[in-house]
Amino acid sequence: MKFSIATGLATVLALSAIGPALGQEVNLYTTREPGLVQPLLEAFTEETGVSVNTVFLQDGLAERVEAEGESSPADLLMTVDFGILIDLVGRGLTQPINSEVLTETIPANLRGEDNNWFALSARARVIYAAKDLELDSITYEDLADEQWRNRLCIRSGQHPYNTALFATYLVKHGEEETRSWLEGLKANQARVAAGGDRDGARDIAAGICDIAVGNSYYVGLMTSGAGGPDQQSWAEEMKVILPTFENGGTQVNISGAAVAAHAPNKDDAVRLLEFLVSDEAQAIYAEANFEYPVSPTAELNPIIAEFGTLEPDDMPFEEVVANRERASELVDEVNFDTFEN
């Protein structure tokens, strides 16, 4: 999402290879980027004296833990996408956790029904709109309306950000309506569905499109100047609208974590999880990456707070994951990524 990432299953980033004098440690396997994870872990170690040994994996997290079997040293499994998280659960690589701190802090729709996984932060799938456009609200369903013909920018329909959105639509509306909706989105494209979310902001600034679909945290990165002066200027030409589904909420993706099924240091793994939903840790998520905290008592970054109150859609993440493959097939069936206007 932002930093240079090492590749390959065997890539390992050891933040701390030696535990403290008491021997307390947690072994974290994570797909979260080192630049975001490190300050959280350092704060945890400073507060508790428990060291964290980190293995960073861009891909193949489930496969590695599965291959290691009961001898796996993994205590906590952290991911940037709910699909990976739920895959870990489905493969039997996690265990349910009984923690009042976690269940009282994290809303029910942001944790597994059996407490096998827990969300740690959220990103909303929002609408970028030209700042002078007379538009204050919009639904995802509205994006297929003819009024947006040749005015919409969006990245590839096969990107996980979009397949999650499309899968949610599929569960809510069924296959026939979803196909028609995707055809409407395709017809409304101002250019080929490609690039990244920030390219939508760039193309709004250039007058190529009037609205674009993008993730909320990119706006923070652009507005703050973290992406450079060009991206900051793109952000100045747009506003953000929190869309919803009809009779629903806003699509969100989450970062999250689960305790490994054979965690050798289970108690300290739970301790780390509980720390990650504390206001201190949630503030780091909010400030470092412009994400939505999952704790209702944690403060939003001011840039993100300006978007208004986020009401996440209540579609179970498990249902979204179960329908991603069919959503992806529909994307190909309507030739979503082929520009024909």
160 strand-pairing partners: none
Asked if 275 and 48 count as a contact pair (C-beta separation under 8 A), the reply is yes
Q: Is 218 annotated as a binding residue?
A: yes
119 strand-pairing partners: 256
Report the distance separating Cα 263 and Cα 268, nearest Å.
10
Q: Is 285 annotated as a binding residue?
A: no
Asked if 126 and 240 count as a contact pair (C-beta separation under 8 A), the reply is yes
Report the distance separating Cα 332 and Cα 9, nearest Å.
29
Asked if 145 and 185 count as a contact pair (C-beta separation under 8 A), the reply is no
What letter represents residue 301's amino acid? N
Percent helix, strand, coil in the chain (nearest 5)?
A: 45, 15, 40
Residue 193 contacts by C-beta under 8 Å, 6 or more apart in sequence?
Answer: 154, 155, 156, 157, 186, 336, 337, 339
Matching residue, tokens 């806003």: 250
Annotated binding-site residue numbers for Fe cation? 217-218
Annotated binding-site residue numbers? 217-218
